[in-house]
Amino acid sequence: MSKTFKLDGREIPFETGQTIMDAALAAGVYIPHLCHNPEFAPHGSCRVCVVDVGGRQVSACTAAASEGMEVDSSSEAIQATRRAILQMLFVEGNHVCPACEKSGACQLQAVAYYTGMLAPHFTHFFPRRPVDASHPDVVIDFNRCILCELCVRASRDHDGKRVFAISGRGLESHLVIDSASGLLGDSSFAASDKAAHVCPTGAILPKGRGYETPIGERLYDREPISIVGDVRAHEEEVL
């Protein structure tokens, strides 16, 4: 018999070594996440996957599942914490959804809907961040970067290139590109890189394909993220 734990009252089977997130996704139960992508090692930075285990909040993507544990992923308290974290992400960058090409197929936006976040709530920082359109095939809009490091990990661990890194610290933390000019066009980045296909927001976008799918008909316009899951798994249809 396999081992199980309880997630919102439901029995979830798991193998030793699996995280709460791994086991839940395998059982078809959605736990919201942004920096997590099952193809890469757990990261634990966005904190959106926070769940309650015996009165302690842990990130589902990094916490190991254990026999008999009771996990709360849906109470109002947990959803409120997630909402606050999302609101922080929204005021940290410049996320103008109505003017964003990724709207409707953006995981940040979809997770925000999922948690019932209706407004950014906190005071906006309105940082000044550039857009880098130097690459022939891909554009980077740093305004929409949430520092999830998926592109960093994909480029380093999958593409073997180390095109991206995080620089600075605290609120000054920012994504940087490894080239003499700091521009993507001068780096070794290619549109076929894994790193071009993992961004959960509209920060890394292919050129020349904007609005191919009209707004209103996009992935999360049709069904919520809790049903259809990550945008990366639907790349062909949404871009």
Partner 1 sequence: MNASAVVTVEGFVAESLATHGRDPRHLLQHLIRVQQRFSYVPDAAVEALSAALDVTRTQVRAAVAFYAFLHERPRGAFEIRFSDNITDRMLGSRRLIRLLIERLGLSGLPAWGRDLIRDDGRVSVGLASCTGMCDQGPALLVNGQAVTNLDAQRVDRIADLVQEGIPLERWPGEFFRVENNIRRRGLLLGNPATDGAALRRLVDEGADAALAEVERSGLRGRGGAGFTTALKWRFCREAPGTDRYVVCNADEGEPGTFKDRVLLTDYADLVIEGMTVCAGVIGARRGFLYLRGEYRYLLPHLESVLQRRRAEGLLGTRILGRDGFDFDIEIHLGAGAYICGEESALIESLEGKRGVTRKRPPFPVTSGFDDQPTVVNNVETFLASARVVQWGGYWLRGEGTDQSAGSKILSVSGDCARPGIYEYPFGTPVHRVLSDCGAENTQAVQISGAAGATLSPAEFDRIIAFEDLPTAGSFMIFDDSRDLLDMVRNFAAFFAHESCGFCTPCRVGGALLRNLVEKVAAGQGSEYDLSEMRHIGAVMREASYCGLGHTAPNHVLNTLDKFPSIYRRRLAREAHTPSFDLDAALSEARGIAGRDDPGTHIHKLSGETA
Q: Which of 46, 53, 58, 85 binds ligand FES (CB under 6 A)?
A: 46
Q: Segment contacting ligand FES (CB under 6 A): 44-52, 74-82, 171-179, 224-232?
A: 44-52
* 100 touches ligand SF4 by CB under 6 A: no
Task: Label the pairing between strands 3-7 and 174-177.
Answer: unpaired
* 231 touches partner 1 by CB under 8 A: no
Cα separation, 24 vs 210, whole angstroms: 34
* 203 touches ligand FES by CB under 6 A: no
Applying CB under 8 A, what is the total number of residues that bind partner 1? 39
How many Cβ atoms from other residues are within 10 Å of residue 56's Cβ?
A: 8
Using CB atoms within 10 Å of the CB of residue 123, give its burial: 0 to 12 exposed, 13 to 18 middle, 19+ buried.
exposed
* 85 touches ligand FES by CB under 6 A: no
* 147 touches ligand SF4 by CB under 6 A: yes
**Residue 175: C-alpha distances to residues 20, 93, 146, 169 (Å):** 29, 12, 9, 11
* Amino acid type, 60: A
Place of tokens 């003017």: 99
The binder of 150, among ligand FES, ligand SF4, partner 1, none, by C-beta within 5 to 8 A per type, is ligand SF4
The binder of 227, among partner 1, ligand SF4, ligand FES, none, by C-beta within 5 to 8 A per type, is none
Could you write out the DSSP letters of every residue in 181-229?
TS-GGGSS--TTSGGGG--SSSSEEETT-TTSSPTTSSHHHHS-HHHH-
Applying CB under 6 A, what is the total number of residues that bind ligand FES? 12
* 171 touches partner 1 by CB under 8 A: yes
DSSP assigned state of 113: H
Which residues of the chain form contacts with ligand FES (CB under 6 A)? 33-36, 44-49, 59, 61
Which residues of the chain form contacts with ligand SF4 (CB under 6 A)? 145-151, 175, 198-199, 201, 203-204
Which residues of the chain form contacts with partner 1 (CB under 8 A)? 42-48, 50, 57, 59, 62, 64, 81, 84-85, 88-89, 91-92, 122-123, 125, 146-147, 162, 164-173, 176-178, 180
